[in-house]
């Protein structure tokens, strides 16, 4: 069944159809939650809560992108957790390098077909630096940089997910990238050469 048919079936309380939707989207939902929260267990909780909420509210889905709809739900769950201070890190993203549920290929800086052991160490250090700088962003900036730069969504999709005008998304993303560049300048020895030269050039 195509996605629209699955949604229509789920709206008629077909749990099997909803479970197929979960399987299709749980990876990207979890990845967004993990990047937002930087904690494996809390990201698991946020992902589970998002899908429970989606099942309870599936009758309110009026069409369009189901992925955008479920990502809006999980992003709001993450906002709530960050706002309330309920996030108590137990296993940070640094501990996830061998976790099969984490799609590190979503981050362009992390891509490498067959890294050597020393390169794996460097990648892990770079990943930690990138995540540290993401954590430093205001949550609205964090959401757009995760959705666009890490998950590869376009501006319109991100605008739909966070329910902000397209111009606001572009502005937030530009400011988020500047903040990230400034933050990553502190870790410039970890950056690939092309990023290191850009970072150095911006501070001349």
CA angle 17, 55, 69 (to 5 degrees): 95
For 48-82, the three-class secondary structure string (H helix, E strand, C coil) is HHHHHHHHHHHHHCCCCCHHHHHHHHHHHHHHHHH
Q: Which two tokens stand for residue 80?
A: 């709530």
Indicate whether 81 pLDDT > 70: yes
Domains in the chain (CATH in brackets) are 1-92 (1.10.1740.10), 112-204 (1.10.10.10)
Q: The whole model's pTM is what?
A: 0.73
* Helical H segments across 38-154, by residue range: 40-57, 66-84, 117-135, 139-145
Q: How many CB atoms lie within 10 A of CB 194?
A: 8
- Give the residue with greater pLDDT, 72 vs 88: 72
> What's the pLDDT score for residue 94?
52
Residue 46 pLDDT grade (very low, low, confident, very high; cuts 50, 70, 90): very high
| Residue 86 confidence (pLDDT) | 55
């Amino acid at each position: 069944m195509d996605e629209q048919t699955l949604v229509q079936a789920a709206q008629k309380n077909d749990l099997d159809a909803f479970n197929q939707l979960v399987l299709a989207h749980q990876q990207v939902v979890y990845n967004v939650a993990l990047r937002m929260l930087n904690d494996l267990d809390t990201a698991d909780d946020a992902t589970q809560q998002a899908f429970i909420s989606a099942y309870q509210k599936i009758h309110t889905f009026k069409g369009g992108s189901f992925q955008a709809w479920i990502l809006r739900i999980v992003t709001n769950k993450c906002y709530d957790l960050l706002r309330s201070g309920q996030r108590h890190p137990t296993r940070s993203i640094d501990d996830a390098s061998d976790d099969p549920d984490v799609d590190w290929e979503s981050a362009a800086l992390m891509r490498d077909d067959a890294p050597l052991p020393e390169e794996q160490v460097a990648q892990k250090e770079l990943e930690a630096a990138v995540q540290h700088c993401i954590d430093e962003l205001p949550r609205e900036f964090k959401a757009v940089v995760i959705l666009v730069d890490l998950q590869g969504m376009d501006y319109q999709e991100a605008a739909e997910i966070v329910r902000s005008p397209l111009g606001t998304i572009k502005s937030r993303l530009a400011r988020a990238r500047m903040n990230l560049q400034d933050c990553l300048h502190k870790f410039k020895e970890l950056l690939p050469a092309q990023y290191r030269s850009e970072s150095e050039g911006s501070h001349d």
